Amino acid sequence: MNNWVFALTAMLVYLVLAFVLGLLAGRRRSFWSVSEYAVADRGLGLVVIWFMMGGTVFSAFSFLGGPGMAFSQGAAAFFVPTYVALGILPWYLLGPKVGRIGARKNFFTMGDFLGDRYQSRSLTVIVGVISVLAFIQYLTLQIKGMAFIFNILTDGVIPYWLGALLAYGIVVIYVASSGVRGAAWSDVFQGALMLVVAWTVGFYLVYALQGGPADMFTSISESRPGFLTIGNEGSTMSGMAYTTVILVSALGFLMWPHLFTKSYTTTEKRIKLTTLAFPLFGIFMVPVLFIGFSAIGVVSPDALGSADEILPHLITYELGASGWLYGLIGAGSLAAAMSSSDAITHGGSVSLGRDVLLPLKPDMNERTQIWIMRLGVVAIGAAAYWLSIFGAAGIIALLVGAYGSIAQFVPAVYGALIWRRATKSGAIAGLIVGIAVNYYYQIVADVTPLDMNAGFIGLLCNIVVFVAISMLTRPVPEALADEYRNA
Amino acid sequence: MTINKEKKVAKAYVVFLISLFLLLTFPVYAIANRVFPLVAGLPFGLFWIVLMEGVAFLVLCVFYRYEYGKGDHR
């Protein structure tokens, strides 16, 4: 049997399982409840929430971007396991607070939360619009990943458009029908599969190509001095860039609305138990980097169109013989891309319905809202699919900017919880300045001051403006500020 | 859990978070920013990250036990 037949079979079996599980998850639940669709009636169990948070972290990035970064940039890739572990840790304190307020006030989104604390419907809409744009960008990356994997592992038998349609179409259907439960349950399956595959492949490659991790790192260090450290001669990243990218990614992590709103889906105790497991997820990422390191000295960088292609390249040219490995990698990498896509598609549909459209027409009934959210899944899905297959340069710059802007929610969110004096004008002005600065340094300018991360500079400006304008404007009613401060 | 205990936990937790951040970023990370000695096959800089994450996991377990360990199951 040809390798691509193995791969195709494994991927199809996997897709069927994920599909069935996703659909079953929503059975016997109220189809018409916004609370069920958005936050599973605040009742998700521990294992589910654990995999759901974890699954969204291990995205297509784990199999394509992560190894690519290790291969092309060496120690700079260490920032991945670091920020994954650090990013979730504030949730131990933040999650229970947000969850308590949300349960009391019946919130489903980050827009609900900020709009109420700052008494501003426009803030809800701004947050909603940025979130939806950022989600679409995130999805586009995942869909491209899925299509790429399908295409390359089946030797081009499954074209780009079809692979993306198959994998992502399934996600759209189970998310639209089963809501957050569909996303969550399929993540348990996908997460487990993906971890097994990442570790198997990571270690297999290191031993097959380099004779073990110690030999591998020794020879890399000999042939490329400085490559495995930060900020030295031969390193690819400065200490400042490394530190600020960790800071901004870790702080911004929980600001992704689909993760933030998981505070509403479960209990305080489970939030804390989930947080507890995350440093281990950081460790789980290490073998993913092994995939990229194992190719150094084996694959010439010129052989690749982009560093992201390193894993598929290794499979095609270095491991030609083993069909089972082909299939395993196919299923595992699809799982990684899909487990992120489902949560993001779901999050996007809730943001679109609740934060963007509801404030424009506040008298909508629950049934209309639920229809908007379910149709939103299809709309966002179609937009992301279209963009990933056909692209559109102008829109892509907009989306990349939105993607990088998520961390700019940090001052407004933390301000709501710890600073009574924080005001609506401060939050909006800070957000706008932060996003503008981020756009400028991310897309327009070539270099940043002191080699700091663009998002980090945006965040600094954001905080200054947020504090200054808040001090100058009228505070929200004291009782409201206290409720958030003391939640 | 009383408000007081919760405040105490929050304060200790913030200290833990900031220390962890500092240990994993520059300038403190500079002490681990080298390849040798390899530990368990990993460059020292990467081993350091794994080590800190292991420690963070244990510290979190202690926090959790302190809050929920003694029959306070909510």
- Whole-complex ipTM: 0.88
> Could you tell me if A202 and A291 are in contact, meaning their C-beta atoms sit under 8 angstroms apart?
yes
Contact B25 A247 (CB under 8 A): yes
Q: Where are the domains of chain A?
A: 3-392
In this prediction, residue A275 carries a pLDDT of: 86
Q: Cβ separation of A90 and B50 shorter than 8 Å?
A: no
Instruction: Please give the pLDDT value at position A245.
Output: 86
| Arithmetic mean of pLDDT, A79-95 | 87
Residues 6 or more apart whose Cβ sits within 8 Å of residue A123: A111, A114, A115, A412, A424, A427, A428, A431
Chain B nearest-CA residue for A77: B46
At residue A466, the pLDDT reads: 94
In degrees, rounded to 5, the angle at the alpha carbon of residue A270 between the alpha carbons of residues A264 and A273 is 135
Tell me the pLDDT tens digit for each residue of A285-299.
888 889 889 888 888
Q: Give the residue among A292, A358, A315 at the shortest CA–CA distance from A78.
A: A292
In this model, does residue A401 exceed pLDDT 60?
A: yes
Q: What is the predicted pLDDT for the residue at A284? A: 83
DSSP A30-89: -TT-HHHHHHGGG---HHHHHHHHHHHHS-HIIIIIHHHHHHHHGGGGGHHHHHHHHHHT
Overall fold of domain A3-392: Sodium/glucose cotransporter (1.20.1730)
Residue A463 pLDDT grade (very low, low, confident, very high; cuts 50, 70, 90): very high
Asked if the Cβ–Cβ distance from B20 to A213 is below 8 Å, we say no
Contacts for A213 with CB less than 8 Å, ≥ 6 apart: A206, A290, B38, B40, B41, B42
Three-state secondary structure call for residue A90:
coil
How does pLDDT run across B20-72, given as a tens digit for each residue? 999 998 888 888 888 888 888 899 999 999 999 999 999 998 998 888 876 54
More confident residue, A249 or A31: A249
**Per-residue pLDDT tens over the stretch A142-157:** 888 888 878 877 777 8
Lowest mean pLDDT segment, chosen from A101-110, A303-312, A401-410: A303-312
CB A432: neighbour CB atoms within 10 A?
Answer: 14
Higher pLDDT, A478 or A399: A478
Q: Of the segments A114-118, A198-202, A336-340, A380-384, which one has the largest average pLDDT value? A: A114-118
Mean pLDDT taken over chain A? 82
For testing contact with chain B, the best of A46, A210, A229, A450 (most B CBs within 10 A)? A229
pLDDT at position A313 over 70: yes
Q: To the nearest whole angstrom, how far is the Cα of B18 from the nearest Cα of chain A?
A: 10
Domain boundaries defined on chain B = 3-68
Confidence (pLDDT) at B74: 45
